[in-house]
Structure 1
Amino acid sequence: MFNLSDNVRKVNLINRRLFIVTAAKVIVFLGLSSRLYSLQVKDRNKYLTLSDKNRIRESKLPPIRGEFKDFFGKTIAGNNEVYQLHIIPEQVEDFRHVSLRLKSILNMSERQFQKLLKKKNEVKPWDTIVVSDNLSWEQFSRVNNYLYELTGVKSVLSITRIYPHKENFTHVLGYVSQANEKDLIENEHIKEKFVPGLRVGKTGLEKAFEKELLGVNDIQRFEVNAYGKKVNQIELQKGSKGKDIRLTLDTEIQKYCSELLKERAGSICVMDIYTGEIIAMQSSPSFDPNLFLFGINEDDWQLIRNNPLKPLVNKTISGKYSPGSTIKPIVALSALENGIVNPQFTIKCEGKVEMYGQTYHCWKDKGHGFVSLKNAMKQSCDIYFYEIARRLGVDRLSETAKKFGLGERVFDNLFQNEKKGLVPNTQWKKNALGGGWLLGETMITGIGQGYIQTTPIQLCLMTAQIANGGYKIYPKITVEENNNYFDKFTPLFKNQKNIKIIQDSIYSSTNEVMGTSYSSRINNLKYRFAGKTGTAQVKRITEEERELDLKTSEIPYEQRDHALYVAYGPTKNPRYALSIIIEHGGSGGTTAAPIAKKLFKVIIDRHKLREEAKHNKFLDI
């Protein structure tokens, strides 16, 4: 029998439980209401924006790259139409089946097929996969015949880089290839414009002017459904092509330089001695930059990489060579400027000279007899220049050489791979090698051997500044730069008469009997030029080898001397300077000077065209 107190306790228990349940419902309701208020009222704008972002997508298309033009407005690095094949995974029902069909249609290798499958796993469903960025016309036609059954596959007409002159401008322009992770890290501009398959400059001017060339992307905005599939294009924002850059180079002269250097390792530079404009700048051997556009194959890469003549090296700005006797005009000028000798200073050359137990040889075994400055320059007498270098000292020689452009980058930081070379002095040796400077080192520096290292472009600049009367010029390779003539307020001399003495001496070397390049002279005043030969040893000659007196053809290739030549012309009214180096070419007089003879005729014949082009309003030069 239940009593009253038991009933009361049960009622109270039930009431408490009902209260707890009711309270919990109220708390949950209030929480839901608060959250709904937050979502719909307080954070309305935030989630509206997020909703739009989920609904509207944006994609960038590759920007159109600016072109390089030569001085006359001819395209030397342009753009070309290419056929591409794309897949959008979200539109493909069976990706593997479609991939197998494409493998059959395009005759893809197993490696290419597996690469395609791998790409699919690396991208988002709505991202585009580039199956091929350079279809042949045959492949493009074949795949278009099957597009009706290949859902999600589309053929695309796109734009890519093209180098119409192939290897002729490679070391100046460089080349483009697909942007990699390093490019994105190092260049914010590339990172901003990046799209899959974007090609950017890897070397040369393509890399130097990347920002100007790259252009602005087209931007496509479109609406997607809940699955991310495109349902409607909302907007297409047109970008802009990159800036076209006009260079000072003359394509015809550049191509001719390439022909003259065919099957040789070396360099040719041609420069306007007043404006500093680079007319030609060729390094040999070269390679076809078009090979890198879509990824170079292994065979082509190994052929280029393993070529013993080193086609990957831009010898014009990166090759460091002993200048040999081409340095003698600077040695003589420095001696004149510092009052060490005068033009009548004479010594007797007997073929060799002894100094502190060391023998220093002249290139002519029996010697040149009594020679003054002019005759010593004309015949390139080593004994004469040993003596004036000894009297001058390396520090004063170094100062003059640097004034005329040796030992410093000619283009500042325009080319990443340009080398400074080396013009030594006593302080340099102490800092770099921890030793004192020796007199014998001064003497061999006086004939362009020893520690001194120059680049071909530096030798061209040196010659140009001697030719223009001794004034500083600033070499340029783009016509957008300041084209003012040389700075008349920056003379490189103390007494201009000394420059005239050097010019006369160089003239005699080419145009007077017994001159080292007399056989390459041109009698016609229109084409006549003045130049200095150089022969740079690549190894020390032993007494045994000196006695054998071997011909160049009898010496192993890698042990042969480098052949050099610097010149300017026409001599009546000088306008152009050049430098030529043929690696392991032997004598500068027999190998390099004859090239200059051929080249000056072309350079001077094209001078009138160049002057006319400067005033041609259609070329905007």
Structure 2
Amino acid sequence: MQSNHFGGEKLHTINRRMFIIGAAKFVVFTGIIIRLFSLQITENKKYLTLSDKNRLREWRLPPVRGEFLDYFGNVIAGNLKIYQLHVIPEQVENFKSLMLRLKELLNLSDTQFNKIIKKKNSQKSWETLIVSDNLTWEQFTKINFFLHELTGAKAVLSVSRDYPLSENYTHVLGYVSMASAKDILNNDIIKNNHVPGLKVGKTGLEKSFENDLIGSNGIQRYEVNAYGKRINQIDHQEGTKGKTIKLTIDTEVQKLSNELLKDLAGSISVMDIYTGDIIAMHSSPSFDPNLFLFGISQDDWQLIRNNPLKPLVNKTLSGLYSPGSTIKPIVALSALENDIISKDFKVNCTGKIEMYGQTYHCWKKKGHGVVNLKSAMKVSCDTYFYEITRKLGVDRLKKTALKFGLGEKVLNEIYSNEKKGLVPDTQWKKNTLGKGWVIGETLITGIGQGYLQTTPLQLCLMTAQLANGGFKIYPKIVVEENVKTETEIKSIMNDNLEQLNLKNDELKLDTSKLFDFQNIKKHEPLFQNSENIKLVREAMFASTNEIRGTSYKSRIDDPKYQFAGKTGTSQVKRITEEDRELDLKTFEIPYNERDHALYVAFGPYKNPRYALSIVIEHGGSGSSTAAPIAKKLFKLIIDRHELREKIKIKKTIKA
């Protein structure tokens, strides 16, 4: 009995264990089935996506930047294909080993290698490292051949800016360079289109029109093998190219400006006196913007930065100069408009005047004798302009100067580095310097010295508005759609002139209200009596085309090219009595102490169409240095006028 009892308990225990084991097997088996069901059915999409992510790669392509064209449709800032090598640190198993292999394949110098390592250490761990942003074709093919053993490395076909005319357009266009953290942070469009190696505008129009130029990313999808090597392209989505921007500038005139200013510091500006189109705008010296595309070398940067002629400064927009005698047409006009003088007003110039114990010299030591408006402008007599400015006063002079474009930005906010300049008055000095205005400051303002500061482009605009008969124009450097033609603008100007004459008749020439006239139309007159503008233009003609005129040697007798202008010499230091006694030639004076040379002009004289301004830093005399440049410029400008008009006719026909 005892044996049977023991056997029964043993059998019961075995059955119970088998049941537990069987139950456990069932639970495990059921769990496996449930998990398999979950993996293959419930989470099928999830793991299929993960699988595709391992098998498929997506690359965001750099956006293709919009181009800049000159007025005739020539590319002045385009794009070219380049090859880059990127390394994604998160995908690299042994970074040091990879970099040593790349150093061997690309024949990197120790300096280049150390620079890459330093760059990697300064970046975030997840940021793509650009090992090279301009591989040769040989390097690119070699990298692709060994790509299977370069885990984490990626050879990329990209695009980069190209400036085919190098230094000719540097200060107009600016340049692009690698997008900085600040660029990405401050601009959502750059942020949304950013890819490693993206280049964005840093200065000039490249920066001003960044949002229009940048374009949008393209996308490529590839199938890759276990090593990450591309084996098949699955999809390609085209990005949107940035906007193409056409400028008003004529490349041939721009190139000649660059040649004429070679080895000089200065500026040339050329403008259409009706449409406001800027035909040329060059600052010298310049530099090659292509140097900045892939990171400028230290040697090149030091050469540019330490150049005493300051190539980094856009002198046309940022350079502030005393206008010297180029301001005299505005002084004469202001005096005429305010009935301070007539065309027959005369002054006897003895070479100097004295006032309150202070002597004010004319540039000609022995004086010019008796001069009227025309002869004073022709020989640039300082004494004459001392006298009429004394009668006029600086406050009334300022009103006229502001009307003609001085003291305000010419291109509004297109260029962030454009300066306003300064046209002083009595209130300005009191507010700024806390002192009262003195009569001596009025006299020197009348010959373009003292506190008066202008940019070369302002002087060009001033001259253009004198040349077109005294009407306001609206300068532009980018070609706009549906703009008025020269004929339409002239018609508006004539209508405005008729309204002004009618207004003056009603006022019976009430001089107290002359400066209150405001016309609601564009291209309003900047004068009250058109005869005054005519007198000033005739005086400028005499300055260039009559014997004893300060720019007579630079005249052109052919009416097709004949122009009228005004020279200017801007002092950079106070002239002492000792300096006057020495009477040194320009080449005998230290460079930084030489006067600036200026010239403003318009032509052709009979039917004017273009105005220009020339500034040569420390060039000495405007008559000997700046005016001869105008002679060469006007020949080309006038010769290319017909070509420019043909472009406008074609555009009108298409519209």
Fold shared, TM-score > 0.5 on shorter chain: yes
Counting only pairs closer than 5 Å after superposition, residues 237-386 of structure 1 correspond to structure 2 as 237-386=237-386
Structure 1 stretches of 5 or more lacking a match? 1-35
The aligned residue for residue 588 of structure 1 is 622
Contact 1:613–1:619 (CA under 8 A) maintained in structure 2 = no
Shift of 1:319: 0.1
Mapped to 2, the partners of 1:552 and 1:227 lie a distance apart of 72
Q: C-alpha distance in 1, partners of 2:147/2:191?
A: 34
Kept after mapping to 1: 8 A contact 2:61/2:158: no
AA of the residue aligned to 2:201: G
Q: CA deviation at 1:182?
A: 1.4
2:149·2:227 contact (CA, 8 Å) conserved in 1?
Answer: no
1:340–1:388: 8 Å Cα contact kept in structure 2?
A: yes
Residue 541, structure 1, aligned to residue 579, structure 2: no
Q: Mapping of 1:385-424 within 5 angstroms?
A: 385-424=385-424
Q: Distance in 1 between matches of 2:257 and 2:271?
A: 13
AA in 2 matched with 1:539: K
Counterpart position of 1:199: 199
1:495 to 529, 537, 544: 529
Q: What does 1:211-230 align with in structure 2 at a 5 Å threshold? A: 211-220=211-220
Instruction: Provide the C-alpha distance between the structure 2 equivalents of 1:53 and 1:479, rounded to a whole number of angstroms.
Output: 51
Which one is further off, 133-142 or 503-512? 133-142
Deviation at 1:135, TM superposition (A): 1.7
The match for 2:177 is 177
Offset of 1:119 from its aligned partner? 6.0
- TM superposition score normalised by structure 1: 0.87
Deviation at 1:218, TM superposition (A): 1.2
CA 1:240 to 1:391, structure 2 compared with 1: closer, same or farther past 3 Å? same
Taking structure 1 as reference, are residues 530 and 254 closer, same or farther at Cα in structure 2, changes over 3 Å only? same
The 10-residue stretch of structure 1 (112-121 or 172-181) with the greater mean CA deviation from structure 2? 112-121
Cα distance change on mapping 1:378 and 1:184 into 2, 3 Å: same
1:530 aligns with 2:578: no
Instruction: Give the distance between the partners of 1:400 and 1:617, measured in 2 at CA.
Output: 37
C-alpha spacing 1:90/1:420, structure 2 compared with 1 (3 Å): closer
- Aligned position for 2:26: none
The CA deviation at 1:115 is: 4.5
Partner SS, residue 616 of structure 1: helix
Deviates more, 1:143-152 or 1:309-318: 143-152
Q: Which moved more, 1:85-94 or 1:412-421?
A: 85-94
Assess if the C-alpha contact under 8 Å between 2:60 and 2:195 holds in 1: yes
Counterpart of 1:74 in structure 2 is 74
Q: Deviations over 1:232-280 (max 9, x none)?
A: 9775432110000000001111000000000000000000001000000
Output the CA distance in 1 between the equivalents of 2:574 and 2:129. Answer: 59
Task: Please tell me the residue identity of whatever aligns with 2:281.
Answer: M
Q: Deviations over 1:413-434 (max 9, x none)?
A: 0000000000001111111111
Q: 1:329 to 1:304 in 2, by over 3 A?
A: same
* Aligned AA (1:568): F
- In structure 1, the partner of 2:105 is 105
Deviation of the 1:113 alpha carbon: 2.5
Alignment of 1:21-36 (within 5 A): none
- Where does residue 613 of structure 2 map in the other structure? 579
| Contact kept in structure 2, 1:409 and 1:419, CA below 8 Å | yes
Pairwise CA distance, 1:118: 5.8
The superposition leaves residues 323-363 of structure 1 with CA deviations (integer Å, 9 ceiling, x where unpaired) of 00000000000000000000000010000000010000000
Contact 2:62 2:158 in 1 (8 A): no
Q: Match for residue 440 of structure 1?
A: 440
Match of 1:11?
none
User: Structure 1 residues 304, 50: CA separation in 2 closer, same or farther (over 3 Å shift)?
Assistant: farther
Report the equivalent of 1:164.
164
Deviations 1:125-169 (A, max 9, x none): 7x7543211123453455456556545544333210000010100
> What is the distance in 2 between the residues matched to 1:272 and 1:435?
41
Corresponding letter in the other structure for 1:62:
P
- Distance in 2, Cα, partners of 1:260 & 1:619: 36
Rounded to whole Å, the distance in 1 between the matches of 2:651 and 2:282 is 29
Q: Distance in 1 between matches of 2:198 and 2:60?
A: 11
Residue aligned with 1:182, SS: helix
Aligned partner letter, 1:591: T
Structure 1 residue 83: Cα displacement: 2.1
Shift in alpha-carbon separation, 1:120–1:398, aligned structure 2, 3 A: closer
- Deviation string for 1:540-594 (max 9, x for gaps)? 0000111110000000000000000000001111000000000000000000000
Residues 314 and 360 of structure 1: CA distance in aligned 2, closer, same or farther (over 3 Å): same
2-side partners of 1:325 and 1:560: how far apart? Answer: 16
Q: Normalising to structure 2: TM-score of the pair? A: 0.83
What amino acid maps onto 1:559 in structure 2?
Answer: E
Cα deviation, 1:261-302, whole Å, max 9, x if unaligned, reads 000000000000010000000000000000000111111101
Opposite residue 260 of structure 1, the aligned amino acid is L
1:427 matched to which residue of 2?
A: 427
CA separation in 2, counterparts of 1:227 and 1:156?
Answer: 17
Contact 2:570-2:597 within 8 A present in 1 as well: yes
How many corresponding residue pairs?
A: 578
| 1:603 is the counterpart of 2:637 | yes
Percent identical pairs in the alignment equals 68
CA shift for structure 1 position 61: 1.9
Instruction: Please give the secondary structure, in 2, of the residue aligned with 1:579.
Output: strand
SS at match of 1:398: helix
Amino acid at match of 1:572: K
1-side partners of 2:573 and 2:189: how far apart? 47
SS at match of 2:598: strand
Cα pair 2:213 2:244 within 8 Å, conserved: yes
| Cα distance change, pair 590–481 in 1 and its aligned pair in 2 (3 A) | farther
**1:216 counterpart SS class:** coil
CA distance in 2, matches of 1:361, 1:483: 48
Q: For residues 539 and 377 of structure 1, what CA distance do their matches in structure 2 show? A: 24
